[in-house]
Each structure stands twice: as C-alpha cells, then as structure tokens.
Amino acid sequence: MGIYTIVGLTAAAFTTFSFLPQAIKVIKTKQTKDLSLVMYSVLTIGLFLWLTYGILVKDIPVIIANLITFIFAAIILIMKIKYK
Amino acid sequence: MGIYTIVGLTAAAFTTFSFLPQAIKVIKTKQTKDLSLVMYSVLTIGLFLWLTYGILVKDIPVIIANLITFIFAAIILIMKIKYK
C-alpha cells in the first residue's frame, strides 16, 4: 500500500469516527442545546447522498465510510430533535 | 454532467456547508458545553489529512471541499477550546 493510500485511509478513519464521541456524549448527557439542528439536518442528508453516490458508482470505501458516518450523524440528529 | 456526478457534487456541498450554521451558532452564542472536544479535535485532524491527500493525488474537488470544511471545523474547535 502506497503512502498516499495510507494518508487517505487515515483521513477517512478520522473523519468517520470523529462523530462517535459526540454521539456518546449526547446519549449520556441528553444535552443538545449547543448543537446546531440545521448542521445535523444538512449533514445527515449529505451523508445519505454520499452513500447513494457510492452505491451508484459501486465504490466500496465511499459506501462503508459514509454508511458509518450517516449512522452516527442520524443518532445525533434524533437526539437533537428529541431533547432540544 | 451525468446524474452520478450531480449526486456526488450535491453530497459534497451538503456535507461541506453543514458545518457553517454550527460555526455561526458558536460564534453568536459562545456556548459550547454540549459540543464534543474529542469530535472536533479528531475531525479537524482528519480534514487536514484529507486536504493533504487531495494535494498528494492532485484532486481539486477533494482539496476545495476539505479546505472549506477544515476552516469551519477549526473555527468550531477554537471556540470550543476558548469557551469550554
């Protein structure tokens, strides 16, 4: 595996799993006042479109990375709507 | 431009600009208690790696999308550190 691919995969792992601690935080605290509802609405739609794009062009890394991020973002969005 | 490209570009625009309302919110309110410091630390590093990857593989859309998102995420991270 080349250095470029390693940088790309590390980048994807960081941006994908960055949302996990935020999801855990809102589940634990049920505090969502400072989170932007518009951000998580637009982000969740955007990640769903990325997932759709990955399926259309049959790109497995795009599908996997965006499916995981979509799940985290959707959890945060649901908690924001529930506990705003 | 094909339908696949339109879906991909729309996805990129949504995920990139989703962070703008969150950045505006923290600048206006200076309230960051509910934001995860770990999320914005890992995300900002991840976006910097994506930017580096884009430069390495000379991919203009990857460079532009991640540069803009990096700026928004870095603003939110700085506000989180300043007003935590």
- The per-residue pLDDT for range A27-38, each reduced to its tens digit, is 999 999 999 999
pLDDT digits (tens, 9 = 90+) for A36-59: 999 999 999 999 999 999 999 999
- Inform me whether the C-beta atom of residue B29 falls under 8 Å from chain A C-beta atoms: yes
- Which CATH number do you get for residue A27? 1.20.1280.290
Q: pLDDT-derived band of residue B1, with 50, 70 and 90 as boundaries? A: confident
Question: Using an 8 Å Cβ cutoff, are B35 and B19 in contact?
Answer: no
ipTM: 0.93
Q: How far is A51 from chain B (nearest CA, A)?
A: 9
Q: If DSSP codes are grouped into helix, strand and coil, which group holds residue B82?
A: helix
Q: In whole angstroms, give the CA distance from residue A40 to residue A25.
A: 15
Residues A53 and A59: their CA atoms lie apart, in Å, by: 8
| A8 at B interface, C-beta within 8 A | yes
Give the integer Cα–Cα distance in Å for A78 and A52.
21
Mean pLDDT for B21-33 is: 97
CA B30 to chain CA centroid, Å, is 19
The structural domain count of chain B equals: 1
Query: Each residue of B30-67: pLDDT tens digit?
Result: 999 999 999 999 999 999 999 999 999 999 999 999 99
* Whether the Cβ atoms of residue B44 and residue B73 lie closer than 8 Å to each other: yes
CB of B1 less than 8 A from some CB of A: no
Nearest residue of B to residue A36, measured between CA atoms? B22
Expressed as residue numbers, the domain containing A72 is 3-82
A13 confidence band (pLDDT: 50, 70, 90): very high
Which of B10, B12, B31 is closest, CB to CB, to A34?
A: B31
Q: Is-contact A77 A44, C-beta < 8 A?
A: yes
